[in-house]
Structure 1
């Protein structure tokens, strides 16, 4: 069964797009990532224009995050104070990122830049996460103490002024750190169509030192608001949001997020991190190969 996407300017298989949304929702519930780091590349592989893939992914991530946040709220897994600080930074980052996206779009280099940044970010983060997860799993199997990933925050963060207490996260740190982290993910959400969770979750654990019990839910809380703002920004500035495409993705992702949250509660965090790292590395590798492959059609017409 095929349906025509008015903004993307092509027909797609409904079941494939809904299934993709379900997988992304599953990852959202399990890892606290919006899933855009996977949605956008897969849509591009499927033939969706990169600009439309980026803008429409943000819309879909919003729906998946709503479902995931409610699932984690029931388990007391959301630090609303920390999440609110990140939301403020994320909204500011979304506005700033819109200007960058528009400049790249006008220069005609947006497709190449999106692919290059994906390869660099995903490759670096995936390797770091895989190394840490493999070390923890090895220690567990040998019966040795698991190396501390530390609830200690980075020394630079510890030196920042104006400390606040974030009781649910078990932290006493400056709000400037989560504010900056939120700003970065806001920029990434607009320019790459990602929720930013694949950067935010490791940063919340290893830099801020947050309790792993609230990392996933708090990440989704921030992603929810930032992607909602990003959708509005794209709708106004780039007119690249394909509501039909986003709707199909949402159908699958809302259900997938609920299932993922239940699976996360039953799986050791070390294995979750390793699984996420392998997915991130696989996507980075596919994007890198795509940069070197010669396309079937050397020239194409952008429907926008």
Structure 2
């Protein structure tokens, strides 16, 4: 992790405290180099493809990219949520046109996610940077194991009744809390949970998951905005680029088998987990030096 002075030098601005980071009031990043913009554009295009393919917000791509251009883990997680807002819109439209969105389930989940995202935002602003890095790694390992062990059905159906509705709201609270801390949309939790716990097909789970991310990401972003830890310009660049490739991802998701989709997702997360472990260990050594 870069120290505040190093981070400020990288962004060509004066060092400031961690709460404000390298942001103006409202979270806009003061300066982006051509290299930074290129990294953000590529991250956005990849993020959109993976978002449509796996039904995720793309935080697993966005957060590392933002850290790469010099943001702290805290600012990267907060900015990632802002980028997920336009990303999820594009993906939802693509899935909805194929009838792969359960609107009632999404509404119940969203109610919980909005509440949980406020808690997640609070934790994000208070947890130590090194703790955020290790939480990120543990989360990735958990999802990798789940993707390898469980394969969703293509023809599954989500049946709603009173208790399933209650559990959907509770699931939303958990998802919102974790998403707020890690700067992800929560699709990596919702998508497998909807299939494994509620019987939804893989495509229905992905489409519904993307829809739920929209209000959750807006809620979390607003809370982070008030705390001054959102780099709005960076988030918008990623989000707009992601909207371009998200529809392609949804088409690919329909072409490949559910098992292939799970294994591809697990492979991608394994790469990120290895990188995350290395980054966390490096940060601990720098802190101890």
What band does the TM-score fall into relative to the shorter chain? 0.7 to 0.9
Counterpart for residue 37 of structure 1: 60
- Cα offset for 1:178? 0.9
Indicate yes or no: 2:87 matched with 1:87: no
TM-score (norm: length of structure 1): 0.79
Aligned partner (choices 288, 291, 304) of residue 277 of structure 2 = 288
Aligned partner (choices 113, 134, 138) of residue 116 of structure 1 = 134
Counterpart of 1:174 in 2: which secondary structure? helix
Counterpart for residue 146 of structure 2: 128
Q: Which has the higher contact order (CA 8 A, sep 6+)?
A: 1
Q: Distance in 2 between matches of 1:9 and 1:62?
A: 21
Matches within 5 A, 1:241-252: 241-252=230-241
Judging changes above 3 Å, is the alpha-carbon distance between structure 1 residues 180 and 149 closer, same or farther for their aligned structure 2 residues?
farther
Counterpart for residue 164 of structure 1: none
Q: Distance in 2 between matches of 1:94 and 1:47?
A: 25
Counterpart for residue 50 of structure 1: 73
CA deviations on 1:277-302 (whole Å, 9 max, x unpaired) are 11112111111112223699769xxx
Judging changes above 3 Å, is the alpha-carbon distance between structure 1 residues 207 and 169 closer, same or farther for their aligned structure 2 residues?
closer
Q: Distance in 1 between matches of 2:221 and 2:120?
A: 12
Indicate yes or no: 2:212 matched with 1:194: no
CA deviations on 1:2-29 (whole Å, 9 max, x unpaired) are x989625664421221110110111111
Counterpart of 2:150 in 1: which secondary structure? helix
Counterpart for residue 264 of structure 1: 253
Q: Distance in 2 between matches of 1:149 and 1:263?
A: 14
When structure 1 is superposed on structure 2, of 287-296 and 33-42 the one drifting more is 287-296
CA-based RMSD of the aligned residues comes to 2.7
Asked if 2 retains the 8 angstrom alpha-carbon contact of 1:25 and 1:35, the reply is yes
Asked if 2 retains the 8 angstrom alpha-carbon contact of 1:59 and 1:227, the reply is yes
**As a proportion of its length, which structure holds more strand?**
1
Aligned partner (choices 82, 98, 104) of residue 75 of structure 1 = 98
When structure 1 is superposed on structure 2, of 251-260 and 71-80 the one drifting more is 251-260
- Cα offset for 1:150? 10
Q: Distance in 2 between matches of 1:277 and 1:40?
A: 18
Paired residue total: 264
Counterpart of 2:233 in 1: which secondary structure? helix
Judging changes above 3 Å, is the alpha-carbon distance between structure 1 residues 224 and 294 closer, same or farther for their aligned structure 2 residues?
closer
Listed as ranges, the gaps of 5+ residues in structure 1 are 137-147, 152-167, 300-304
Counterpart for residue 255 of structure 1: 244
